[in-house]
Structures are given as structure tokens and as C-alpha cells.
């Protein structure tokens, strides 16, 4: 079993579009959307949810107004300014500012504050037209995205063993944060999708540094290379310097945009397009 993680240094490079297209040509694969903060692979794959699970991400505090004496000790001790006065002149805790440290609960003399597990996140096992998919949905402002990535990847590996799948294809998150690190750990191969912009070049250098710290073999695709060939050349030279092979330079194509609006991969929408042929070639190299 081979696990391939597709990453980008920034959002908007076309990473998920490329991932979805690779899934259309890959066979006997499990798909895993590791971009749990802003998952979007499901918009193309239209999964039918078979299993739903709750994911706990930290603690949140609440104040019982009937027991609160308004001594304001909790306000004084809260360093996150999460405790405020509502329109009824009662103390309340802003769930988006609360870090779940439980200090307010400990200092409250009347025992009016309680902390509870936060269960505003879910992960799913689904069926798609290309095979099984594991994905997730986090609530706004939730934490522990890295742990959720680890959970969905764990289930994807279990499914791959159960179904005897040859590949796990991960649609990773953009950037170099906690979720990206959780996506990289233990993967066999990385495909970087970038774009020919100054920000694309800047952010991909940070991503390459992170990938190479894990000693994971990496390849690259430069998407929309023809919108700025000068920067595309710079990016290509950067990859060459760091021994990363560029497998394809994909042109900007309105058919790619059109396929997305129809909820299809470019392979399904126009299998004879230049992009479809190049993505097929990319997959043929990755699965060797």
C-alpha cells in the first residue's frame, strides 16, 4: 500500500482540482481529504455518507447565570478576555475566545462555571464514484485540526487494508501548519501543486523545507504555468536546485473551471484535453 499526499504552499493553486483528477485515473485507491478546516474535495466527488463520527476538540467553559454572584473574579483572571457581559447584564463566555484552560472554573467561588468537551466537529466514511473516501467537517474556530487529520488518515489506512487497496490519496491542506505536518507524517510520497505567482514561489519554499525535514520523496506540478512564464521558470529552477522533479506544467484552461462548476473532474469533462493527458502522465509516474 502506497500513501501519496498532495500539498500546496498556499490556497488557490488548484491542488484539490488536481487531486480530484488524479483520483479519476487512479484505480483501487482510498481517498482522504486532510484539509479538515476547509474541506472541498466532496464538492467534486459528491460522496454518499455511510458512517458519521463526532470528533472532540478541546474544552469550552460556560457560566450558569443562576449560580453566578457577579463577583467578577473570573473576568479578572481570564487572560483571553473571553468573559463578557451580555444584554441581560449576566456574565457569559465567548466560545470563540475561550481556550478551555479551566482557570475560571477553578477560581469561581460559587462553582457557577463548568467546562465541557467541545463536539462541534465530525468525520465521515463515504462512498464515491471513484471509491471510498474519508473526510471531515470542523466547526468555525475549532481547534485540534492536526489530531483530526490523524484520525481520518488512520481510518483511511484501515479501509485500505480491509479493501486491499493499493493506494491512499490524500488531499492535504495548504500552508505549513499543524494539519500539514499531520498530513506528512508517515506518508510515502508528496506531490506539490503550485502556481506561478510571487506568493506561490514564496510559500512553496517554506513547504519544501518542511517536506525535506521529513525526508519524504517529493515531485511537483506547476499549475496555470502560462499565466506568468517568468515566475514559472523561477519556480522550476528552485525545484531543480532542491532535486524535486517537475512532472508537469499545466496550462490555464477554461475547461478546468467549467468542469468544477459542473462538479466533475477535468478527466470526466474532457478526457482528451491537454491537462487530462498530462495529469494521466503524472499519475503513471507516481504509481510506479
- As beta bridge partners, residue 54 has 122
86 pLDDT more than 90: no
Mean per-residue pLDDT, 65-92: 92
CA distance 156 to 152: 6
Indicate the pLDDT class of residue 96, thresholds 50, 70 and 90.
confident
Indicate the pLDDT class of residue 113, thresholds 50, 70 and 90.
very high
Mean per-residue pLDDT, 52-62: 89
pLDDT for 145 equals 87
pLDDT for 264 equals 95
CA distance 174 to 283: 21
pLDDT digits (tens, 9 = 90+) for 126-178: 999 999 999 999 887 777 789 999 999 999 999 999 999 999 999 999 999 99
Grid coordinates belonging to 248 = 508537469
pLDDT digits (tens, 9 = 90+) for 177-226: 999 999 999 999 999 999 999 999 999 999 999 999 999 999 999 999 99
Rg of the chain over CA atoms, in angstroms? 23
* Range list of H helices, 65-144: 73-77, 103-107
Q: What's the mean per-residue pLDDT of the chain?
A: 94
CA distance 269 to 253: 12
Amino acid at each position: 500500500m502506497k500513501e501519496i499526499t498532495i500539498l500546496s504552499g498556499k490556497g488557490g493553486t488548484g491542488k484539490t482540482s488536481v487531486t480530484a483528477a488524479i483520483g479519476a485515473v487512479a484505480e483501487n485507491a482510498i481517498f482522504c481529504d486532510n484539509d479538515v478546516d476547509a474541506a472541498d474535495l466532496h464538492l467534486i466527488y459528491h460522496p454518499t455518507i455511510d458512517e458519521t463520527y463526532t470528533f472532540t476538540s478541546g474544552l469550552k467553559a460556560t457560566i450558569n447565570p443562576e449560580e453566578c454572584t457577579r463577583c467578577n473574579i473570573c473576568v479578572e483572571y481570564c487572560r483571553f478576555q473571553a468573559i463578557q457581559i451580555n444584554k441581560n447584564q449576566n456574565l457569559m463566555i465567548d466560545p470563540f475566545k475561550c481556550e478551555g484552560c479551566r482557570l475560571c472554573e477553578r477560581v469561581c467561588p460559587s462553582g457557577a462555571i463548568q467546562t465541557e468537551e467541545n463536539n462541534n466537529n465530525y468525520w465521515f466514511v463515504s462512498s464515491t464514484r471513484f471509491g471510498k473516501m474519508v473526510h471531515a467537517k470542523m466547526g468555525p474556530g475549532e481547534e485540534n485540526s492536526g489530531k483530526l487529520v490523524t484520525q481520518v488518515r488512520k481510518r483511511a489506512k484501515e479501509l485500505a487494508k480491509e479493501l486491499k487497496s493499493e493506494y491512499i490519496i490524500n488531499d492535504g491542506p495548504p500552508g505549513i501548519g499543524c494539519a500539514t505536518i499531520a498530513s506528512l507524517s508517515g506518508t510515502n510520497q508528496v506531490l506539490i501543486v503550485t502556481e506561478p505567482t510571487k506568493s506561490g514561489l514564496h510559500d512553496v519554499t517554506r513547504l519544501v523545507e518542511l517536506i525535506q525535514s521529513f525526508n519524504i520523496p517529493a515531485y511537483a506540478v506547476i499549475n496555470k504555468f502560462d499565466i506568468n512564464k517568468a515566475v514559472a521558470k523561477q519556480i522550476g529552477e528552485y525545484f531543480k536546485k532542491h532535486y524535486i522533479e517537475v512532472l508537469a506544467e499545466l496550462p490555464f484552461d477554461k475547461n478546468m473551471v467549467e468542469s468544477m462548476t459542473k462538479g466533475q473532474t477535468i478527466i470526466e469533462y474532457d478526457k482528451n484535453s491537454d491537462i487530462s493527458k498530462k495529469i494521466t502522465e503524472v499519475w503513471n509516474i507516481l504509481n510506479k
